[in-house]
């Protein structure tokens, strides 16, 4: 039995609506296939003058943004980090599937 995270259908309808309305889109998704698929909307989002970002919940994405900004004024030689679930979050099949995947 494979464990997968549930992705509501239609998959990218909210992104399409946001682009059409000129509204920035940002989500906390961590389903790899979904996050990778969001890149197909980059050109349309740029043309609309907005951004479409997915997978921003994970530590590496947020850290990379901060490090890029810091690197403008200082030399960064090493970065270490880790990911841990919130002690207040319930750990269900979706979380375990994302961690193991």
Domain boundaries, the chain: 13-83
Does the pLDDT value for residue 43 go beyond 90?
yes
Which helix (H) or strand (E) covers residue 59, if one does? helix 59-70
Rounded Cα distance, 38 and 26, in Å:
10
Is pLDDT of 1 > 60? no
Extract the tokens encoding 96. Answer: 């375990």
The residue that leads in pLDDT, 50 or 6, is 50
3-state secondary structure of 21: helix
Predicted confidence (pLDDT) at residue 27 exceeds the cutoff of 80 = yes
At 47 the pLDDT is 97
């Amino acid at each position: 039995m494979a464990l997968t995270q549930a992705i509501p259908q239609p998959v990218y309808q909210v992104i399409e609506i946001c682009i059409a309305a000129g509204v920035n889109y940002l989500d906390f998704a961590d389903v790899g296939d979904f996050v990778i698929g969001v890149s197909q909307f980059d050109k349309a989002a740029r043309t609309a003058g907005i951004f479409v970002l997915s997978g921003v919940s994970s530590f590496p994405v947020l850290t990379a943004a901060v490090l890029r900004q810091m690197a403008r004024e200082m030399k960064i030689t090493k970065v270490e980090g880790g990911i841990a679930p919130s002690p207040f979050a319930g750990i269900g099949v979706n979380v375990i599937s994302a961690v193991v995947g």
